Chains A and B, each alone.
Chain A
Amino acid sequence: NAGVMQNPRHLVRRRGQEARLRCSPMKGHSHVYWYRQLPEEGLKFMVYLQKENIIDESGMPKERFSAEFPKEGPSILRIQQVVRGDSAAYFCASSPTVGQGLYEQYFGPGTRLTVT
């Protein structure tokens, strides 16, 4: 069973460009979470999605950031008009649908975004 997949692993964007980060959850998982890790800091929650629904976006910046998890395909975290402060590692996690496993989140390897 493949783990959580994220791509690209490294992404370089110039200020003002758009960044698209993709996350494919583990097979059988329908819950996806996005976290951001700034240098020398812990992970901060951004958004929690189920298929076609945003459940909790309380950690998402109000502007320039959006997330989706369509019925088919990976979850996408989109950052418009990137700024240097967006440089960070972005991690996706997924969890199963039912049972106690619902509360366990499995993390992908992350996408390291560098804004120049």
Chain B
Amino acid sequence: AQSVTQPDIHITVSEGASLELRCNYSYGATPYLFWYVQSPGQGLQLLLKYFSGDTLVQGIKGFEAEFKRSQSSFNLRKPSVHWSDAAEYFCAVAPTGTASKLTFGTGTRLQVTL
């Protein structure tokens, strides 16, 4: 069965600092990969996705993620964090080739200090 691991439960960074959130997956093939952000009391917003092709994908709000097949990872990065980025971030995977359920990681809560 596929699974997603986000090893960092909680991360604190200073505003303006760079950010990297880790995501590792376990799956028989290369799945479709997603990062979502959830603000308190809100639904999930899609930040970016990887289906195939260029392993560095750009998303909204200045986020990017890099797919590394050898490491089964899809880490999320941002060069300079803004206070408004404080939220919970979820990595998710889905099987390729067919619409199907997403399997989510447990999330990383990002706190931004001023």
Contacts and interface: CB of A to CB of B under 8 A. Distances in A.
Interface of A: 4, 31, 33, 35, 41-45, 48, 56, 58-59, 91, 93, 95, 100, 102-110
B99 A42 contact: no
A45 B46 contact: no
A95 B42 contact: no
A58 B101 CA distance: 10
A42 B45 CA distance: 14
Contacts of A44: 104
B90 A103 contact: no
B28 interface: no
> Which of B44, B49, B94, B104 has the most chain A CB within a 10 Å cutoff?
B44
Contacts, number: 55
Nearest to B36: A107
B90 to A, nearest CB: 6
Contacts of A95: 99
Given A43-B104, A93-B102, 17 more contacts: A4-B43, A33-B102, A41-B107, A42-B90, A42-B107, A45-B103, A56-B100, A58-B101, A93-B44, A103-B99, A104-B34, A104-B46, A104-B49, A106-B46, A107-B36, A107-B44, A109-B43
Given A42-B107, A56-B101, A103-B32, A91 B90 contact: no
B106 interface: yes
B51 interface: yes
A33 B94 CA distance: 13
9 smallest CB-CB distances across A and B, nearest first, come from: A45-B101, A42-B104, A107-B44, A107-B43, A109-B43, A42-B106, A43-B104, A102-B99, A42-B107
A105 B102 contact: yes
Contacts of A91: 43-44
B99 A31 contact: yes
